[in-house]
Structure 1
């Protein structure tokens, strides 16, 4: 092992100490990661009682398919929250990144939506990811270099990017998408949608990074006490900047999957998703204060929300109640977290 590696590992270990409550409560943390499993099983029983179609392969695969794009935003938000930061602009990135990419590759005439035609159609996916990376870079610069409030910066970015999305799309859905842009959203691998396999792989990579990689473990130290982490030798700003860029990349990729799945990009794509994202992360055990949470817990949060919606749909409950339910779940999860941990939610 090199000297640099030894120093970094020592720094991570030292910085994790001030976040001590998270470490001392390790067993409780593991319990929180699994706390939604009984709820998911209960939802399965309720769903079967409501409709025998609930436990069919088609329905369960459909639920998983509908969870893929949201789950990527939840994965991104989990990484960012663990580091003690917040990015509200992810909900706009999922829409504006595909719009800009398509705008750059579609021809200037001959269709309902006229683009610039600057790049070949195969470049749509790389361009979409590049747009996501640029958004993360700009957010990181404003937050980490100019020391602006992260909540206000990303709230402003959310509004600005949403306006750009509507302006470029001219307020209409874009249906003439390049074939390269729709492949992943529609393809099936081994009998299941490719999006499910891709999300499973990304969650595995994210969970592995947080558990075993130095920079992943450093996120917990940064989220627990960034000043202690910086004093211990962790390059806080650089790691947080990387996480912000990675989060925007995941949001842009979620936009590719969503657009490909439905075969179009709507002018309001992603609008209101941030409420579902935070509902899933909070009930999945990720702390809004930073330094706590896991990728697996966040994934169970996504599945719980989607199963609740699916059961309600099968039971004939109007979908207009979904937003109310998401807000209620967040509040209940915060109350349970408060009394289970004995810590104050600030």
Structure 2
């Protein structure tokens, strides 16, 4: 029926979206912001139904997932800060490995007191961050090249310090750092929560965090606004170095030894988590809470597949597949939501 016979007037312009297009846009925006959370919810339901005896949804297993996520989350939180500022850090896994052997060596070989050994190791992590930051800001070396080179150097230092052999027989007080619990919750979970809160506050409620976000959004505009962009980038690398060192310390405590390559695998795990977090709650932005969700998604999948008796290689296929799928889905959803 035409508008002439009804008296109705179509006031929409030729480019205005119709009801169908608007609904599609809303649906796609929901996917772009909450797709990762929805995927995690679906996985929880599937594993809850398929894992025999309801083992997946048991309280012990859910806390086990959090415990397994803790160390990856801590190192990934530090990486998030570097990515927010617009740089990369490929040395974090190797820094964690070096921290593990260093704190173990200080305790076993040098007989250093536990608090001193931990503080010295954290200081070394901060120094690694300073070196990375200065290479990127002052020497103008590409962050990927600089941090990969530093990471390779750290591998050599780890082997030189240990002669390739694990450092064992660490004190019981050191292993109790991670093997203990507080009010029934494993210690690594508490460490994860503390680092999460601290870095969230730093990034969202402090002048340093505002500068980090400003530099990451537009470095030149930040510089013209009076922000010392080089110092801000160095600070971001220092935070990443501290988180990597803390992860290495906790890992050595958990294993009861310092092993040369123990923390290397956290590099890919943390990148997977951070980029999964990009597809969570915000439109393509790196942020701390998103990183936590990314870590949980990966570990929920790992845990569920393990309980189902799936061969180990499928867990790595899952990790790579869900990362690509989540980022691609979020990107496509945002693109079409704007059309």
State the TM-score, normalizing by the size of structure 2. Answer: 0.83
* Shift in alpha-carbon separation, 1:164–1:323, aligned structure 2, 3 A: farther
Once the two structures are overlaid, the 10-residue window that deviates more, 200-209 or 48-57, is: 200-209
RMSD after superposition: 2.4
Name 1:110's counterpart in structure 2. Answer: none
Matched, 1:304 2:297: yes
Alpha-carbon distance between aligned partners in 2 of 1:34 and 1:326, rounded to the nearest angstrom:
19
Aligned partner of 1:166 among 159, 163, 166: 159
Q: Provide, for residues 190-229 of structure 1, a one-character-per-residue CA deviation record: whole Å limited to 9, x for no partner.
A: 1011111121121122222222222212222211111111
Please state how far the C-alpha of 1:248 moved relative to its aligned partner: 0.5
* Shift in alpha-carbon separation, 1:291–1:245, aligned structure 2, 3 A: farther
Name 2:214's counterpart in structure 1. Answer: 221
Structure 2 gaps, min length 5:
1-27
On the 8 A contact 1:78/1:298 being kept in 2, the answer is yes
Instruction: Count matched residues.
Output: 305
Larger radius of gyration: 2
Name 2:81's counterpart in structure 1. Answer: 79
Alpha-carbon distance between aligned partners in 2 of 1:29 and 1:211, rounded to the nearest angstrom:
24
Name 1:267's counterpart in structure 2. Answer: 260
Please state how far the C-alpha of 1:180 moved relative to its aligned partner: 4.3
Name 1:16's counterpart in structure 2. Answer: none
Please state how far the C-alpha of 1:30 moved relative to its aligned partner: 9.8
Alpha-carbon distance between aligned partners in 1 of 2:32 and 2:286, rounded to the nearest angstrom:
8
Task: Map residues 271-282 of structure 1 onto 2, 5 A cutoff.
Answer: 271-282=264-275
Please state how far the C-alpha of 1:337 moved relative to its aligned partner: 3.0
Name 2:129's counterpart in structure 1. Answer: 136
* Shift in alpha-carbon separation, 1:166–1:318, aligned structure 2, 3 A: farther
Alpha-carbon distance between aligned partners in 2 of 1:70 and 1:195, rounded to the nearest angstrom:
11
Alpha-carbon distance between aligned partners in 1 of 2:204 and 2:80, rounded to the nearest angstrom:
14
Alpha-carbon distance between aligned partners in 2 of 1:228 and 1:341, rounded to the nearest angstrom:
26
Q: Provide, for residues 170-202 of structure 1, a one-character-per-residue CA deviation record: whole Å limited to 9, x for no partner.
A: 223222223443232112111011111121121
Please state how far the C-alpha of 1:121 moved relative to its aligned partner: 4.3
Partner SS state of residue 213, structure 2: helix
* Shift in alpha-carbon separation, 1:139–1:183, aligned structure 2, 3 A: same
* Shift in alpha-carbon separation, 1:180–1:143, aligned structure 2, 3 A: farther
Task: Map residues 1-346 of structure 1 onto 2, 5 A cutoff.
Answer: 34-51=34-51, 52-106=54-108, 115=109, 117=110, 119-285=112-278, 292-342=285-335
Q: Provide, for residues 231-281 of structure 1, a one-character-per-residue CA deviation record: whole Å limited to 9, x for no partner.
A: 111121111111111111011111111111222222211123211111111
On the 8 A contact 1:139/1:244 being kept in 2, the answer is yes
Alpha-carbon distance between aligned partners in 2 of 1:210 and 1:262, rounded to the nearest angstrom:
32
On the 8 A contact 1:219/1:291 being kept in 2, the answer is no
Partner SS state of residue 56, structure 2: helix
On the 8 A contact 1:221/1:291 being kept in 2, the answer is no
On the 8 A contact 1:95/1:165 being kept in 2, the answer is yes
Partner SS state of residue 270, structure 1: coil
Once the two structures are overlaid, the 10-residue window that deviates more, 298-307 or 132-141, is: 132-141
Alpha-carbon distance between aligned partners in 2 of 1:223 and 1:263, rounded to the nearest angstrom:
39
